[in-house]
Structures are given as C-alpha cells and as structure tokens.
Structure 1
C-alpha cells in the first residue's frame, strides 16, 4: 500500500504494458460460462451482496469478478483489489485462482484473512495511534480461556463503583466477541465513569491486558479494534487505504463479527465498492461472535444490490434435493438449487448406517472404502470422515482399520506445535520447505513444483519484475537443490532428526530475506510458529521411515482419507462423505442453539459430491437430537442396520 504524499497522491511507478478489454467483449477465463445471476452480479459496479450456497462456485465467481474488474480497467492501474477471507486456506486459494486467471494482474490482487489485514495495519502504523493507546514494549498474541474471562469479570464486579453494582452480569463466553468487539475505542480514554457498565468493563479489560506495564497481551478482536481506531484517527491513512483498494471483496460474510463489520464500515463504508459473498444457512461461527443476518445488515448499510446464485456445481441432483430439505429448515424462502454436476449411477446417494459399537463402525467403513477403491478409479483422498466435534476420538480406530488395507488417514484437526495440520499444509512457508525437499529428493518430473518454488523465491528476493534477478534466483535454486540432494543422501531419515533437516533447508535459503518476506507479504503468518509446527509434523513422518520420499508423502498426506470436523470441512468437497456420529454424544450442545446446530449439519452434509453416508448408534433419539433424524426421514434417507 502506498501512503499518499502531502499533495494527496502517491508516486506510482510506470504502468505495465497491458491491453484493456472492453466490458462488452470480456469473457470468463478458464470456464465456459457463468450463470445469469452471476453475470449480473459480476457486471454490477456498485456494492453487491451475493448469496452463494454450497457448490455455487463462489471462489470462482470472485476470481472471475476480479479478472473482469482488472482486465477492463474498471479497477485502474495501479489501484488494487483487496480480498478478505476468514480462513487462511480460503484466502490462499482465492489468490492462486486469480493468479492463474490473470497472471499479468496478480500483483494487484491482495488476498488475506481479516485478522491478517487488521494486524498488518497495527504492526505498520502503531506509532500513529492516539497517545492514550500507544505502547512501548510491544505485544504478544494470547487468547484467554472462558475461566480466565470469568475470573476477570468477577474481579471487575467486585471492584466496580457502587453505581454499577449488579450491572456487570456479562457472559464469559460472549464478553470478548460481543462486548469487547462491539465497543469502539475512544481516541482519548475518559477519566471519569458515568455509570455505563459496558464502557467500564471494557476499559478495565484493556487496562488489564493492553494498557499495562510490560508486554501487552492481545487477541485478534483487540487488534481489530486498534486497527479501526487507527484508521478513524488518521484520515490520511484512511484515504491511502481507499485509494489503494477502491474495491474490496469479503468472502463468507455470514461469519462477520461485530468488530469486523464495524471495521469494514469505518474504513470502506464510502468511496469504495464492496462485494460481499456468503450464505446465512452456513453461519456456524455464532459461538465466535458472528452477527445474525450479516448479509442483510451489509445490504442495508452499504445500499448493496443482492443476487442469489442458483447453480450447484458440486453435488448430484439427489444430494441437492437433500440439501434443500435441510436448507428449508434454516430459511423457508430458500430456492432449490439446480445441480450442474454429472450424476453417477449404481449407488445410493444418501443413506443412514446404524452400528452397535464404534469398533464395528470403523471396521465396516474401512473395509467398504477399500473395496470401493479396488473396484473404481477413486483414491483415498476422494473420501472424507466428518464429525461434529471430538474428531480425535475417531482417529485411532480408523487409522488402524484403514492401515490394514494400506490406506492412510490424515487428521486435519491434529495440532503440530501451535498449528492445526490443515493450516500448516496451507502455509506458504511450509509449502516452500516441503517443495524444496521434494525437488532435492526427486530431481526429475516435478516441473510444476519447480515453477511454484521459483515463483515464491522470486517474491522472497523481490525479483518478480527483473529478468536478470529472476535468472539469478533460478541459478541459486538449482544450486540449492543440488546441495540439499547431496545432504539428504548422506543423511537418511533413519539417522536424522526433523530439526536437523529443517536447519539444513533454512541454512541454504537466505533466512533473513525469508523472514522479511513472511513478515511483509504473508500477513498473519509467524515464521517461527510455522517452523516449529513443520518440525513437529516432520518428526512424526520420519519416525520409522527409511526413505525421504516416504517421509514427504506421509508429511503431506495427499493420498489419504481425510478426517476432520464439520467446521474445518467448510469450503471443501469430496466424492464420498461419511458424516460420523449422528447421536447425542457428538451433538450434545445441539439443544443450546438449534439454529447453529442445523447450520453445522448443513455444512457437513453439503461437502459430498456423489455419496453421503450418515452413521449413528443405537442410543436414544429423543430430545433435541431427534431434529436431525426427523430431517433425514423427511428427505427420504433410508436407514440400514449394519451387524
């Protein structure tokens, strides 16, 4: 982002030589066509709210809209498009999709998470915060537990002024996302209390964690509030942001929190074109503060035009019908999607299997998957095992039963160091390290991996627009892989630790350049955390392996049956989905928020493209959990008892 000069204008470099396409002649890139509603939304140059259900191709729509705005000059050079997602993998996926569609404009499309964007603003411009909010000893990111929040609220209630007695009854679980996140930081801290319980409690929270002696402790809700204050208090910075990013995309808008919505309206509420994409039926982050009816709030606040995408490119017609039954329970006005997927014949699209115990369940499913793979061209990665929560309870049994057939399991929820495996595998830094090891271990046949690594190293060394620098990076990469190959041959995994392997890779790279690149260009990614997680994962892969190729395959788990929670499955798709544990032990919290429970159910089942198999036991189906079985029965899902 370029901060304007005193004249109010940045000093841009020379514009690249690109040919603009007229809006009338522009056509989608990489796909044959868009559905009518997508065309209308894409061509709308105002604020737009796009309702996109499961399989609607929202990532592709955003990529095509970006291509349209960049190639037609509606977003003129050197201005950029900012795309905000809620998950790192979604941000990375969208960035890669745009780069593949319009590589000549890839540097003008910034795709990152909401948390990464707000954190980057605080890190870069903290010195411009109002005096009452500047700190001198830096900060650490630390999340508080519900018990810690409860203790804080008890302490605050005990020490509060008499006028606030009995008014501080905040719920610990909601205090940070709703109360702290919904409070706009004043430029100057008031010196007197005026009987406002919210202001008093939140100010005490900031004093206890941020405005204190020593290193401050913050979470991303607090960083969001600091970023909003920063932009509000520094008009020059707000102008620079709007000049740099005249167009903003926000993905998964139904998960927007009070703090994020406030930030969005404060920073981009005028002079900016905002495209929000989401689906209220997939709102599963209410526990984290997601606003009810966020898309409608956006439409009202931004005077946006709403469009609903009606095509489903993922699921067969029978599964679309099932999804519609569940969707109608969440929104009675929802319109049935039109399946654009090619249906397969020869199997039941949806079924409920009942088992007497978990061991029988794992054994039967493992045998079934093995037979299905043997009789088809499917691979283990075509299958997903999804559960509501406590996914770790399923891992030992399924890992053992599938291993008997030579099939691996990858638990995307497993934590390595401070990162879930899913986040580690999506990390740009981790992909770079893994790819370097692959290039060193397999010198031939990895042309795409070579191109991806070369492109990343060009960005690390700032050589993306310098032909001589690019050649130098290519030569250095060839030398690096040669040295690393020699080292790997001399250090088999049977006699090498993960720490030694990582230290060797990093020593051959320009560590300082890599650290600078990660800090500036990969917002929200902490190099030390990634390296720690990478080492922990590599250590498990090395254990018992005799060849580096096997180690890297096990690390990545690309050809494995995936085990993950419904929350982590969002945005993904698989040929066959096993939705495990439709019973009260997995869905114990369903009765406390049936709306969000149904949304979670909807998200999990809509990951399937062709086959969806629910599993349950013989436990009691009365009480709130009965809702799920009623919906399955209404959708015509047959039940089969497996003995």
Structure 2
C-alpha cells in the first residue's frame, strides 16, 4: 500500500493526525471514532515515508490482544513483516528490557514472573513468617497495598507511614515481601515497570541508548496510564523524541486500580508544543445514542472537550424501563431480548451491562427460564485456571527449583502425603537459614525434623522434580510439558475424575501441550521454556476461549470497555448502585461513575435500553431505590418510556426522567395488587412484589418476613389479604 492509498481511506481529521509532521501529538479519540485505525496508520505512514525504520518505533498498548492486532494491521498495510518493531504492553516491553539488562537491573538471569495468584501465595507465606493473623491482616489487602505503592513508584523506605500502626505494619510486610522476591528471583507485574524505571534512571548510558533507539513513541489508551507508566514514558521521551498519545478522558474508568486521568489532562503541559487533534466522528452508534451520551458527559468538569456525531441515522429513541423490582426488570429485559432474537438479531450481538457482579444472578435465572444461552464475559481464562497454574508451577520448578511460590503450590498437588504441618516446618527452616524452600526441604530431611513418612514424601517430591529436570533436558518444549504432566500425575488425576469438571480439566491440560507445540520463542536471550512461562504469566487475565455456541453476553460495565454490540441493555440505573454509593464520598469518583455510564451507552450500535427498579434485592437485603441522577441528565427528547406489559403487572414509572412518582398498580389474578400485604398458612405475612402469567397458571411472588421471597401459584396458595 503506497502513501496515497494509506491516506485515502481516512476521513479528513484522521488524515490530519496520521500525516502530521513529527512532533508531540495528543489525539483525543471519542468512542467509535477509529483510534486504533489512526494509531496503526500513523506507524505505517512513518515507516512508508522513510521518517523512521521499524526498529526505531516503540508502540505501547494495554493488552496483548491490542498489540497483536496493531502489529497485524501494520504488516497488512506495509505488506512486510515488522518483527524488529517494539509493539507491546507496558508489562511486556518492561519484561523485554529487564531480560536484556538483568545485570544492570540487579536481577538473576533466570528471574521468574509472579502472576497475581502466585503473588498472593507469596504474600500469605510472608504473613505466616511474620506470625501475623490473616484475619487481622488480610493477604489480599496487603497485596493491594504493595502493588499500589509500586504503581506510585515507592519502595518500602519511601512510603510515608506517619507512624500510624496500620501503615507501619503494611510497610513491614512490603519490605519482607521484597526480601522473599529478591531471594527467590521473583518479579511481580508491578515490579516489572518499577524496576525498569529505576534501571533506566540509574544507568544514564542505557537510558541514552534507548532514547536514541526509540525515535518515535506511540501510546494507546493514554487515559488509563498510572503514575509509574507516565513517569516511564516521560523518561524515554525526555531527550525530545516525539510522543503520539491516543486516548479519551471521557473513557477514563480505572481510577480504582491506579489510572490517573490527570496524565492526559496535563499532557500538553508536560510535552512541549503539542498539537491536539479531536476525533469526533463516530462510526458505531446512532445519532440519538450519541446525543444522549454527549449530554450526559457534558456534566463533568475539566474535560478536554469533544462532541460525538455521526453521518448515520438518528435511529430509535433510547428505551427507558422503570420496573417495580429487579425480578420484573430482568423479565422485561429477557422478553425484549427474545423479541430481538425472533427478529433475527444474533445472540452474541446482544449485551446486558451492569455496575455490580451481584446483579447478574437475577438476570441469569431469567435467561435460564427463557432457555436463552448466555455467557458471563470476562470469566476465568485459560492461564488463570487452577489446573493450568499447577502445571506451569511444575514447569517453573524445572527452570528454577528455588521458586518458592511454585514449590508451595505443588509440593502436595496432587496429594502425596505432605501435610500443612510438614510444609510449615520447611517454611520455618527457610526462614531460619535464609534460604529457599527447596533448600530448606533438603535440610528438613537431613535433620529428621519431620516424621519419617513425611520425610519420605518430601524426598519423593524432590526426586520427582530432579528426575523430570534431567529427563527433559534434550526434549522439545511440548515434550517437556507432556512428560511433566505424566510424571507428576496431574493429567492422570483429572482423567480419573469421571465428572464433567474432571474431564474439562484434563482437556485443559492437554490443550497446554498444544499451546507449547504452537509456541514461537521470540525472546532470543531466553530458553524456550522460560519464554513460554513468561508468555503464560503475561497472558494470564487476557484473551477469551472459543466462542462456541451463540450466546447473549453478560458483563460489568468495566468489562465492556472496548467492546460494541447491536443491542445493549444498561440495567440498574439507581442511586447507590449506579452511581455506586462509594463514589458519593470520594472526590472525582462521581465523575468517574458518569464516565462509566457514558462508556456503557456508547457500546450500543443500534438500540440502547436503560432500566431501573424501585425495589432491588442485593447482598441478601431488599432495598428501596431512587432513579439514578444520570437519568435526569439525559434530555427527554432522546428517551421513550416503556410501560409494564399486561402479563407482568407492575407499578408504572410516571414522572419523567427526574421524577420518582409511581401510578397505581393494576390488579392481578386473584384480585391481588402489587405491594399488597397478604397472609399464607405456612409462611406468614408478606408483600406481593411481582406476578406473571394468567388464568390457572398465574403466579405471584411474595416477600415473606420470615421466609424470604417465594413464588406461589395463586390457585393453590390460598393467600388471604391482610
């Protein structure tokens, strides 16, 4: 593709961004405006014009999937491989730098990456070594504290604890954790970035080398960068290399995990002579959806500013459904979904979005009753599954037997008679001798610190690892994996389990062999096994399994970022739920909730339906709710209120988007009304909260004071009005 062809398929503003002369640029890219297209075309343009060679480009993304997609797009446009170009995630690129410069980074050459689960195990071991009660010092809380400090660029000695007991203890846990990681040659995800930043700062010659190498730096999803990522980018660009940042401050929704919206807001201050280009033409949604989203997000202060528009049709109004309770809301959504399916909408192009995972249960039940297949998007991924993590732990021990997290994970998996008491003896020995668990196990056996039976079991485990290591020396990677699965009896254990879950886990382990067979090692400085293990750790939490059956998609609003569907249901628009109650007391959080609503609305291509309930049962409690303030921020002209269906009689929302008024409910079968108090011979008194069906099959849902919610057939329940 020549330069003219490269630019011809872009709109005027996209072309302006892609063909701009070298210099700092900020591309404010609205939802559905083609930001990835612009980023890939910019890279291809720079290479095609001869401005840079592929190896002089650093392109940073947030997911491995996005990095692969970008590389494929560029190669298609240039009709040539660009393997020498550095395209990857922050963590992937940091890992590559640390592997190449492990000595300057103060790391062992064969350092291993701790994923989130193994990091938690290591934190638990640290807490035990410090004799801290996990009930008082929850491991997950300590893990979060450690990662949060690293994301802010702080080592234990840099944390200002103000001599407060809690912070002081957390700093001690952080310091002890760092010592364990150093001794075992372990690096967690947050450490990858922090260690890379520190290494470049401490080695001016190395920094200068990469500043000369990366003549152009391009960053996707800039609004999601955290403190250490921003510092990392500024350091590489500090020699004057142009930065090309693409992002949308209106889609910054990850403040709770460290993302700093301030990074994109102050970009023009930190990078001199920045040219700002706004991509506002939307290629996804209808005009009504965009106008409503624009009106909503305009309520936020401090925006960089943009207004989405489309050359497409205005489309249908946004449906607004006010339900009596969450069950009635779910029934309406699923009934509406069935109508779309009956009219030819593909199931996978339908999504139900919600603020809290707890909302999915009622929706799932309604989908099951309607026999509509569904999938919880963002469920457990391949490399996160327990059986796969067990297998990779064995492989890590073949590479480095001093990996404490892996030793602890599989020393008794499958069960081999090494109980918790014996493992604790090994831990104590490791602490006493300041050595790895592997070395401590040998000392425990030699000193007869455990019973003979336990000592024999420990020795068998050590011999197993040593035997597998020796036997697999000359094997291909996939053969090593296959041999490990057989020798460890991991595969046989799951094959012996005749349940569906056992068969599934066995199939997953067999798929690991296939993954190893298909793996291509692009890290020349690493052995194939170590590269595969790094790949597994970096891929954990990303990707999705085979789609298989066509399914309606269910997911949280955070998970929906980056996705789009023909039909979207945005459920639970209630105060305290969305916006979430925790957002009301923290500065900036309410605006982030509004951005989250904006993201949810702009996932829809053709039809958007927003719903809420007057009564919702969450976390085991029935809550009376008010409509979300976000509804009053959407002009009435873009909405069409939907009344309750006759077969699902309910109180009807009647006061416009800013009202909480309700009209009188219709009478249902048996002469009852929704909200009426009734009495049952067995369950006692309760309130009618919902109904469905008619005639002999009519049912009501009654919330009983002592027995909770029950569905009863009116013809047989013998309910009495109170």
Would you say 1:310 and 2:280 are equivalent positions?
Answer: yes
Residue in 2 aligned with 1:616? 612
RMSD across aligned positions (CA): 4.5
For the 8 Å contact 2:374–2:552, the answer to whether it is kept is: yes
For the 8 Å contact 1:355–1:618, the answer to whether it is kept is: yes
Q: Which of 53, 61, 85 does residue 85 from structure 1 map onto?
A: 61
Residue in 1 aligned with 2:410? none
Q: Which of 116, 119, 129 does residue 95 from structure 2 map onto?
A: 119
- Matches of 1:494 and 1:134 in 2, distance apart? 42
Residue in 2 aligned with 1:98? 74
Residue in 1 aligned with 2:342? 374
Would you say 1:128 and 2:104 are equivalent positions?
Answer: yes
Q: Taking structure 1 as reference, are residues 356 and 276 closer, same or farther at Cα in structure 2, changes over 3 Å only? A: same
For the 8 Å contact 2:114–2:537, the answer to whether it is kept is: no
For the 8 Å contact 1:280–1:295, the answer to whether it is kept is: yes
Q: Provide TM-score, normalisation by structure 1.
A: 0.66
- Cα deviations by residue, 1:179-227 (Å, 9 ceiling, x for unpaired): 44333669xx99xx99998999997565322234742665422221111
State how 1:398-477 maps to structure 2 within 5 Å.
398-402=366-370, 404=371, 407-416=372-381, 419=384
Give, in angstroms, the shift of residue 282 of structure 1: 1.3
Q: Which of 494, 497, 500 does residue 503 from structure 2 map onto?
A: 497
Residue in 2 aligned with 1:224? 193
Q: Taking structure 1 as reference, are residues 126 and 410 closer, same or farther at Cα in structure 2, changes over 3 Å only? A: same
- Matches of 1:624 and 1:233 in 2, distance apart? 55
Give, in angstroms, the shift of residue 614 of structure 1: 0.8
Give, in angstroms, the shift of residue 578 of structure 1: 0.5
- Matches of 2:211 and 2:189 in 1, distance apart? 23
Q: Which of 110, 114, 118 does residue 140 from structure 1 map onto?
A: 114
- RCO higher in 1 or 2 (8 Å CA, sep ≥ 6)? 1
Residue in 1 aligned with 2:243? 274
Give, in angstroms, the shift of residue 312 of structure 1: 1.2
Count of aligned positions: 502
- Matches of 2:527 and 2:333 in 1, distance apart? 46
For the 8 Å contact 2:378–2:555, the answer to whether it is kept is: yes
State how 1:34-113 maps to structure 2 within 5 Å.
34-36=11-13, 38-40=15-17, 42-76=19-53, 79-113=55-89
Indicate the SS of the match to 1:28.
helix
Give, in angstroms, the shift of residue 634 of structure 1: 5.8
For the 8 Å contact 2:573–2:628, the answer to whether it is kept is: no
Give, in angstroms, the shift of residue 598 of structure 1: 0.9
| Higher mean displacement: 382-391 or 240-249 | 240-249
Q: Taking structure 1 as reference, are residues 329 and 181 closer, same or farther at Cα in structure 2, changes over 3 Å only? A: same
Would you say 1:233 and 2:202 are equivalent positions?
Answer: yes
Residue in 1 aligned with 2:651? none
Residue in 2 aligned with 1:567? 558
Give, in angstroms, the shift of residue 568 of structure 1: 1.3
For the 8 Å contact 2:323–2:613, the answer to whether it is kept is: yes
Give, in angstroms, the shift of residue 615 of structure 1: 1.3
Structure 2 segments unaligned to the other structure (5+ residues):
131-140, 390-498, 617-622, 649-722
- Matches of 1:220 and 1:567 in 2, distance apart? 21
For the 8 Å contact 1:41–1:48, the answer to whether it is kept is: no
Give, in angstroms, the shift of residue 41 of structure 1: 5.5
- Matches of 1:495 and 1:607 in 2, distance apart? 34
Q: Which structure has the bigger radius of gyration? A: 2
Give, in angstroms, the shift of residue 261 of structure 1: 0.8
Would you say 1:365 and 2:333 are equivalent positions?
Answer: yes
| Higher mean displacement: 226-235 or 409-418 | 409-418
Q: Taking structure 1 as reference, are residues 235 and 307 closer, same or farther at Cα in structure 2, changes over 3 Å only? A: same
For the 8 Å contact 2:287–2:314, the answer to whether it is kept is: no
Q: Taking structure 1 as reference, are residues 223 and 107 closer, same or farther at Cα in structure 2, changes over 3 Å only? A: closer
Residue in 1 aligned with 2:295? 325
Give, in angstroms, the shift of residue 234 of structure 1: 2.8
State how 1:589-600 maps to structure 2 within 5 Å.
589-592=582-585, 593-600=589-596
Q: Taking structure 1 as reference, are residues 532 and 275 closer, same or farther at Cα in structure 2, changes over 3 Å only? A: closer
Give, in angstroms, the shift of residue 531 of structure 1: 10
Indicate the SS of the match to 2:555.
strand
- Matches of 1:595 and 1:173 in 2, distance apart? 27
| Higher mean displacement: 205-214 or 303-312 | 205-214
For the 8 Å contact 1:139–1:215, the answer to whether it is kept is: no
Would you say 1:245 and 2:214 are equivalent positions?
Answer: yes
Q: Which of 321, 330, 340 does residue 353 from structure 1 map onto?
A: 321
Indicate the SS of the match to 2:614.
coil
Q: Taking structure 1 as reference, are residues 201 and 250 closer, same or farther at Cα in structure 2, changes over 3 Å only? A: farther
| Higher mean displacement: 237-246 or 43-52 | 237-246
For the 8 Å contact 2:569–2:609, the answer to whether it is kept is: yes
Indicate the SS of the match to 1:562.
strand
Q: Taking structure 1 as reference, are residues 205 and 244 closer, same or farther at Cα in structure 2, changes over 3 Å only? A: farther
- Matches of 1:138 and 1:533 in 2, distance apart? 17
Q: Which of 327, 346, 354 does residue 387 from structure 1 map onto?
A: 354
- Matches of 1:37 and 1:416 in 2, distance apart? 35
Would you say 1:576 and 2:567 are equivalent positions?
Answer: yes
Would you say 1:607 and 2:611 are equivalent positions?
Answer: no
- Matches of 1:350 and 1:105 in 2, distance apart? 45
Indicate the SS of the match to 1:89.
helix
Indicate the SS of the match to 1:352.
strand
Residue in 2 aligned with 1:484? none
Q: Taking structure 1 as reference, are residues 614 and 336 closer, same or farther at Cα in structure 2, changes over 3 Å only? A: same
- Matches of 1:353 and 1:194 in 2, distance apart? 49
Give, in angstroms, the shift of residue 286 of structure 1: 0.9
